[in-house]
Amino acid sequence: MPEKKANGQQYKVSGKVFTWTTEDGDTVTIPMRIKLKTIRAMSGRELDVAAMFDMLEVLVPDQAEVLDEMDVNDFQRMFSTWQEEYTALSGATPGE
């Protein structure tokens, strides 16, 4: 799948995986399919930066180091773009 851009950052969606290239050139790979138990654990929470990070720690625990080094604005762009792609694929946002 060809690379896309969101706010100048590169990403791609291939099958069931979303890959974001950070401003520093590192990559974060987030699944496009989420287990119901993860969504249930997040239900009722405001989707602020802390909640976004908590969700990603569950989805991609092996990438916490890269997430920790991201600029908060890049992190929010990545999460929003992943959420848009997730919505396009599933027809609903995570938690709906």
* pLDDT per position as a tens digit, 22-72: 888 899 999 988 888 887 877 777 778 788 888 888 888 899 889 889 988
Whole-prediction pTM value?
0.78
Listed by start position, the domains of the chain span: 4-87
- Identify whether the C-beta of residue 74 lies closer than 8 Å to the C-beta of residue 23: yes
Q: Which residue has the tokens 């496009």?
A: 32
Q: In sequence order, what are the beta bridge partners of 18?
A: 13, 30
